[in-house]
Structure 1
Amino acid sequence: MIINAKSGLCPEDCGYCSQSIVSTAPIRKYTMLDKETLLAGAREAMERKAGTYCIVASGKGPTDKELDQVVEAVKEIRRTMPLKICACLGILKDEQAERLAEAGVHRYNHNLNTSKANYPSITTTHTYDQRVETVQKAKRSGMSPCSGVIIGMGETNREIVEMAYALRELDADSIPINFLNAIPGTPLEKAGRTPPMKALKVLALFRFICPTKEIRVAGGREVNLRSLQPLALYAANSLFVGDYLTTEGQDVQADHAIIEDLGFEIELNALSS
């Protein structure tokens, strides 16, 4: 489960994001949530049977004050709840990665998003190589590296294959596969949806190229996979429950029903076993 710990107020120009400086989407904007709100989110994640709680913040990277707030909340969550914690706070400095790892963050997410060749058409305020470097810093600090993609941003089929091999080369433990949910007010608002069968092929491709990794069905699954959502879990082994950053997700009971109807079981509270 994701919590949008800081919304909007971002100086980056990512074309897919409603929180970017170039977006006119009518979203909530607020600074970093306080410790108690982050703790309440963790308790909600437990109620939704999520195994991992993802603390996500807009911006190029965290300030020292923002990092302090996250670190304090993480320490308390680790002390009181059997949740894995993922942080997604943007581009990190080495010392910031080390602080998060010491606080008890299990995993750090920083998506590659698209291919290296397509990257300049998506954002100009940071580079593809900076994203790769952040994933590597997270890995060096001892956190599990999480990095994925957003399908549907003008990339070619060959570039989708290149993304999968790039993530295998990075040795990302967890790979979230997002499908663009084109938000009005963003530069990519007129981008079409990924056809459901193509979305399934993408998931199968990433499973084939990264056979031992956690493949996550992430943002945009509801509007792109549509009625084929259940089939995604034959290639993927994880999905997000609840809402995303600024878009609504499917009802959590519907997600639980998909898993149950397929004959799968939810892995609960892995840290307590």
Structure 2
Amino acid sequence: MNQTTVMDWKVYASKAMQKEVLTPQEAMLVLRADDDELLPLMNAAFQVRKHYFGKKVKLNMILNAKSGLCPEDCGYCSQSIVSTAPVAKYTLLDKETLLAGAREALNRRAGTYCIVASGRGPTEKELNQVVEAVREIRDTMPLKICACLGILSDDQAVRLKEAGVHRYNHNLNTSQSHYQDITTTHTYDQRVETVDTVKRAGMSPCSGVIIGMGESDEEIVEMAFALRELDADSIPINFLNAIPGTPLEKMGRTPAKKALKVLALFRFVCPDKEIRVAGGREINLRTLQPLSLYAANSLFVGDYLTTPGQEITTDHQMIEDLGFEIELCAL
């Protein structure tokens, strides 16, 4: 295993704060750092995070607005057509339920409310429902809205932007070289094109990854540089929650120290972007969750799409104990 020194991590932090690009070889050293170097590594990542974001933490809440019923074969997903996991299946929730979710996001002190729907992409009826709900949320609540509805056309993206959607999420999920091992019903290039569609419409692009799906360290580095190239404003880092009934059910968990090195890597490679520790943090990071916020500056509060999250009060307490501050929504 490669080892490095404390001074090397300070150099990494200095490079990141000057927006100098790491080499792929330097990036690999982060993932393969000796475990004894974990605290100096996280301290270096924190210097970058603090430089761009101070000690503020952005909170996000997901609403699973449409569950199951998805024709795609994504191996990690309990809602896909190939999954036998016993998840709820329902069509897009009505406007009042979407509005109630927004009010709950405010109760959780979340600044961003994420409306997520399963499926390849929205039908016109579904898009109309989301547009109507978003307009009312924007008129009545101080929230940023993120939508995640699958593949979009240019016209659909423009309509979401005009309704008041701030951000659109469409994850790359894994590296281009590993993609066909995870999903075959759509391509990596289609995901990239959707993010480009979002940018053209004027919405903030949100795109991230899922770590722990059998990818190599080289492919994790590939993901980090791909997202830097894509210029995603927000990068959710998910860690696989291997759900029984999905093709990846036997993958196990990412060790907590490895997960922290991944977060540090993304902070160095994408220094001024919102790095969000996302799905699977509870079962992968376990008791080391607080350390994740030394690299990440954002997290989800509450449940995920089909899996439970941590108690909201526990997340609030974690942020307070670290001496960090919840960032309020500034529209």
TM, length-normalised to structure 1: 0.99
RMSD, aligned α-carbons: 0.4
More helix by share: 2
* Aligned positions, number: 271
Q: 1:222 aligns with which of 282, 287, 292?
A: 282
Of all paired residues, the percent bearing the same amino acid is 83
Q: For residue 267 of structure 2, what is the aligned residue in structure 1?
A: 207
Give 1:215 deviation, angstroms: 0.1
Q: Which amino acid aligns with 2:240?
A: L
1:2, 1:264 → 2: CA distance?
22
2:120, 2:213 → 1: CA distance?
20
Q: Which has the higher contact order (CA 8 A, sep 6+)?
A: 2
1:170, 1:141 → 2: CA distance?
15
Q: 1:260 aligns with which of 307, 316, 320?
A: 320
Q: Which amino acid aligns with 1:93?
A: S
Q: For residue 125 of structure 1, what is the aligned residue in structure 2?
A: 185
Q: For residue 165 of structure 1, what is the aligned residue in structure 2?
A: 225
TM, length-normalised to structure 2: 0.82
Q: For residue 245 of structure 1, what is the aligned residue in structure 2?
A: 305
Give 1:268 deviation, angstroms: 1.5
Greater Rg by CA: 2
Give 1:269 deviation, angstroms: 2.7
Q: For residue 197 of structure 1, what is the aligned residue in structure 2?
A: 257
Q: For residue 107 of structure 2, what is the aligned residue in structure 1?
A: 47
2:220, 2:284 → 1: CA distance?
17
Q: Are residue 2 (structure 1) and residue 62 (structure 2) matched?
A: yes
Q: Which amino acid aligns with 1:195?
A: P
Aligned partner of residue 247 in structure 1, secondary structure? coil
1:99, 1:10 → 2: CA distance?
23
Aligned partner of residue 245 in structure 1, secondary structure? coil
Unmatched segments (≥5 aa) in structure 1: none
2:304, 2:244 → 1: CA distance?
16
Aligned partner of residue 64 in structure 2, secondary structure? strand
Q: 1:76 aligns with which of 109, 127, 136?
A: 136
Q: 1:137 aligns with which of 197, 203, 214?
A: 197
User: Per-residue CA shift, 1:27-84, capped at 9, x if unaligned?
Assistant: 1000000000000000000000001000000000000000000000000000000100
Q: Please list every run of at least 4 consecutive aligned residues from structure 1 whose deviation after the TM superposition is greater than 2 angstroms.
A: none
1:96, 1:123 → 2: CA distance?
24
1:188, 1:243 → 2: CA distance?
21
Q: Are residue 110 (structure 1) and residue 146 (structure 2) matched?
A: no
Q: Which amino acid aligns with 2:186?
A: H
2:328, 2:105 → 1: CA distance?
11
Q: Which amino acid aligns with 1:149?
A: V
Q: Which amino acid aligns with 2:290?
A: P
Unmatched segments (≥5 aa) in structure 2: 1-60
Matches within 5 A, 1:20-39: 20-39=80-99
Q: Are residue 150 (structure 1) and residue 217 (structure 2) matched?
A: no
Q: Which amino acid aligns with 1:183?
A: I
Q: Which amino acid aligns with 2:223?
A: M
Aligned partner of residue 32 in structure 1, secondary structure? coil
User: Per-residue CA shift, 1:248-271, capped at 9, x if unaligned?
Assistant: 000000000110000001012322
Q: 2:247 aligns with which of 187, 205, 211?
A: 187
1:145, 1:222 → 2: CA distance?
26
